[in-house]
């Protein structure tokens, strides 16, 4: 057991999602903006508030982690230590859940139940005060929390220094794929003014090439992959500008190649890895959808194009066109809305409620885990198989 040496992979850890490279290529701009925004904290302990937004796999989480680690190292070198707490709001998606995670940073055994959010907040405040060092809280995927209208927590965290009368500050980094201004209360909105935002654009093909190349050099055995492999990974992932997809391809191709007698990665392995990654993206969930939901989701995927999110009204318009194309009667608005909510529960899509400039609130839809083009193609293939048998259940 464990006696067979790897022939391609030198260090599997460096291909994991949690791994944050020492240097994030092509994110120097974002790192220096963060440095600029956090200067008041590093120099005089004053709290800072920044919002990071951008598409899937554009390095938001990795950059925030790298930045916090580098900043903590810098501050402790200058005798002004800081503490950082990282919470992923997808895992802890209620206000109480997030506060619990914050308290457990100080008190690992704090009980899951038995305390109200207010009591928990008081306990957290006491920890911050007695710690006496500035704390940076990173709320990753914060839109998931805000969707449940937990704006109060953000508000309380931004007003922390008033509560503790300046004795200990709490800085905040909020991370979201979507712009969240419309989801915050007015006071927090002014705290996270547009001036405090750092945006992450999709990576270009060239950038993905250098990200994949740097990771291969760190994680793989030299001479066991050709430049063509890296070129192909960059080609394939550039469709989405997503570094996670590039690294996933690199990892899976390497794992496939471990099984070859010749022990090196070739472009065929990358193609095989790509096919596998795409087929696990909710394939079984899609097959399980009935005809009406498939049509609704196809309409959403088609109208999404390169947008981060689309309004439910826009999706419904495309839905009517899609139904016509497949010879089906479109269902009424309330029914369409039920389909959307159903698919939200299954994580096939996400809905967010946003305030509109003209007043009022509307629902927007996003596709967090799958590129819209891929999803549309999959649904079209499934529907083509099914179009003849149109007697699917409602
Ligand atoms: N500039 C980069 N250099 C090296 N690796 C990177 C870079 N950007 C992203 N990565 C890697 O790509 C993967 C995805 O990045 P990350 O998790 O930071 O994306 P994200 O923007 O947070 O995506 P999501 O919105 O889905 O959470 C991670 O494994 C990360 O280490
Ligand atoms: Mg992330």
Are 63 and 177 in a shared domain?
yes
The answer to whether 250 and 212 are in contact (CB under 8 A) is yes
CA 335 / ligand 1 centre spacing (Å): 37
Neighbours of 149 (CB within 10 A): 10
The answer to whether 169 and 47 are in contact (CB under 8 A) is yes
Residue in the structure block whose two tokens are 């003014």: 193
Asked if the structure places residue 370 within a domain, the reply is yes
Asked if the structure places residue 42 within a domain, the reply is yes
What SS3 class is residue 84?
Answer: strand
Are 138 and 268 in a shared domain?
no
Q: Which residue's alpha carbon is at the smallest distance from atom 29 of ligand 1?
A: 17
Are 49 and 193 in a shared domain?
yes
Ligand nearest to the backbone CA of 244:
1
Q: Which residue's alpha carbon is at the smallest distance from atom 9 of ligand 1?
A: 59
CA 24 / ligand 1 centre spacing (Å): 9
How many Å apart are CA 22 and CA 24, to the nearest integer? 7
Are 276 and 288 in a shared domain?
no
CA 98 / ligand 2 centre spacing (Å): 17
Tens of pLDDT along the chain (394 residues) come to: 666 678 899 999 999 988 999 999 999 999 999 999 999 999 988 899 999 999 989 999 999 999 999 999 999 999 999 999 999 998 787 888 999 999 999 999 999 888 988 899 999 999 998 888 999 999 999 988 887 766 688 888 988 766 656 566 899 999 998 888 778 888 888 787 767 899 999 999 999 999 999 999 999 999 999 999 999 999 989 988 999 999 999 999 999 999 887 789 999 999 988 877 765 455 677 888 899 999 999 999 999 877 778 999 999 999 999 999 999 999 999 999 999 998 887 778 888 887 777 778 888 898 866 778 878 988 998 998 754 444 343 3
Asked if the structure places residue 21 within a domain, the reply is no
CA 61 / ligand 2 centre spacing (Å): 4
Asked if the structure places residue 392 within a domain, the reply is no
Residue 393 pLDDT: 37
How many Å apart are CA 351 and CA 233, to the nearest integer? 31
- End-of-domain residue from the set 157, 174, 200: 200
Strand 361-366: give its sheet, edge to edge: 310-311, 361-366, 350-355
CA 153 / ligand 2 centre spacing (Å): 21
CA 167 / ligand 2 centre spacing (Å): 32
Are 329 and 372 in a shared domain?
yes
Neighbours of 147 (CB within 10 A): 18
How many Å apart are CA 301 and CA 368, to the nearest integer? 11
Are 48 and 182 in a shared domain?
yes
- End-of-domain residue from the set 142, 166, 200: 200
Q: What is the CATH number of the domain that holds 377?
A: 1.10.10.10
CA 118 / ligand 1 centre spacing (Å): 35
Asked if the structure places residue 18 within a domain, the reply is no
- Overall domain count for the chain: 3
Strand 170-176: give its sheet, edge to edge: 83-88, 135-140, 170-176, 49-54, 197-200
Residue in the structure block whose two tokens are 């230590």: 81
Atom of ligand 1 nearest to the CA of 243: 12
What is the DSSP pairing of strand 361-366 with strand 350-355? antiparallel
Residue 390 pLDDT: 40
Backbone angles phi, psi at 52, to 5 degrees: -110, 125
Are 194 and 214 in a shared domain?
no
CA 42 / ligand 1 centre spacing (Å): 25
- Which residues in the chain belong to E strands, given as ranges? 49-54, 83-88, 135-140, 170-176, 197-200, 310-311, 350-355, 361-366
How many Å apart are CA 376 and CA 301, to the nearest integer? 6
**Residue to mutate (ligand 1; options 59, 174, 242; most atoms within 8 A of CB):** 59
Residue 164 pLDDT: 59
- The binding-site residues of ligand 1, defined as CB within 6 angstroms of any ligand atom, are 17, 20-21, 24-27, 54, 56-62, 177, 211, 243-244, 247
Residue 151 pLDDT: 66
- End-of-domain residue from the set 245, 280, 315: 280
Q: Is the dihedral angle over the CA atoms 140, 341, 359, 313 positive or is it negative?
A: positive
Q: Which two tokens stand for residue 137?
A: 């809280």
DSSP letter assigned to residue 311: E
Atom of ligand 1 nearest to the CA of 27: 1
Asked if the structure places residue 189 within a domain, the reply is yes
What is the DSSP pairing of strand 83-88 with strand 135-140? parallel
Are 58 and 154 in a shared domain?
yes
**Residue to mutate (ligand 1; options 175, 244, 252, 369; most atoms within 8 A of CB):** 244
Asked if the structure places residue 391 within a domain, the reply is no
Are 262 and 301 in a shared domain?
no
Residue 166 pLDDT: 58
How many Å apart are CA 118 and CA 99, to the nearest integer? 10
Residue in the structure block whose two tokens are 């191709």: 253
Are 165 and 224 in a shared domain?
no
Q: For residue 144, which of 4, 353, 346 has the smallest C-alpha distance?
A: 353
Are 193 and 228 in a shared domain?
no
Q: For residue 82, which of 47, 108, 110 has the smallest C-alpha distance?
A: 47
Q: Which residues contact 333 (CB under 8 A, 6 or more apart)?
A: 316
Are 192 and 63 in a shared domain?
yes
pTM: 0.76
Q: Which residue's alpha carbon is at the smallest distance from atom 3 of ligand 1?
A: 24
Asked if the structure places residue 259 within a domain, the reply is yes
**Residue to mutate (ligand 1; options 243, 245, 366; most atoms within 8 A of CB):** 243
Residue 358 pLDDT: 76
Half-sphere exposure of 221 (CA within 13 A, CB side): 14
How many Å apart are CA 42 and CA 71, to the nearest integer? 8
Range of the domain at 379: 284-386
Q: What is the CATH number of the domain that holds 267?
A: 1.10.8.60
Q: What is the CATH number of the domain that holds 120?
A: 3.40.50.300
- What is the chain's alpha carbon radius of gyration, rounded to the nearest angstrom? 23
């Amino acid at each position: 057991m464990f006696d067979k040496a790897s022939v391609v992979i030198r260090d599997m850890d460096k291909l994991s999602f949690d791994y944050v490279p020492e240097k994030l290529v092509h994110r120097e701009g974002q790192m220096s903006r963060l440095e600029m925004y956090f200067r008041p904290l590093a120099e005089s302990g004053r709290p800072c508030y920044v919002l990071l937004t951008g598409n899937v796999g554009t390095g938001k989480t990795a950059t925030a982690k790298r930045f916090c680690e580098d900043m903590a190292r810098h501050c402790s070198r200058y005798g002004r230590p800081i503490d950082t707490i990282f919470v992923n709001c997808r895992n802890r998606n209620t206000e109480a859940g997030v506060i619990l995670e914050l308290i457990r940073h100080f008190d690992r055994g704090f009980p899951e139940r038995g305390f109200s959010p207010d009591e928990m907040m008081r306990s957290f405040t006491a920890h911050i005060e007695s710690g006496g060092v500035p704390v940076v809280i990173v709320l990753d995927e914060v839109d998931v929390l805000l969707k449940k209208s937990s704006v109060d927590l953000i508000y309380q965290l931004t007003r922390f220094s008033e509560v503790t009368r300046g004795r200990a500050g709490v800085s905040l980094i909020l991370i979201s794929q979507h712009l969240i201004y419309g989801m915050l209360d007015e006071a927090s909105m002014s705290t996270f003014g547009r001036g405090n935002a750092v945006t992450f654009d999709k990576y270009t093909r060239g950038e993905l090439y250098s990200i994949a190349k740097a990771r291969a050099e760190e994680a793989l055995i030299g001479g066991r992959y050709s430049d063509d492999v890296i070129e192909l990974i960059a080609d394939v992932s550039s469709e989405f500008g997503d570094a996670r997809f590039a690294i996933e391809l690199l990892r899976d191709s390497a794992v496939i190649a471990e099984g070859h007698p010749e022990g090196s990665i070739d472009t065929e392995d990358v193609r095989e890895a790509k096919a596998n990654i795409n087929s696990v993206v909710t394939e079984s969930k899609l097959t399980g959808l009935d005809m009406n939901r498939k049509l609704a989701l196809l309409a959403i995927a088609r109208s999404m194009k390169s947008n981060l999110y689309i309004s439910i009204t826009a999706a419904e318009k495309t839905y009517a066109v899609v139904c016509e194309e497949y010879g089906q009667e479109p269902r009424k608005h309330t029914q369409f809305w039920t389909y959307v909510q159903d698919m939200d529960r299954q994580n096939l899509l996400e809905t967010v409620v946003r305030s509109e400039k003209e007043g009022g609130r509307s629902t927007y839809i996003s596709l967090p885990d799958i590129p819209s083009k891929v999803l549309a193609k999959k649904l079209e293939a499934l529907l083509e198989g099914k179009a003849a048998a149109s007697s699917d259940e409602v």
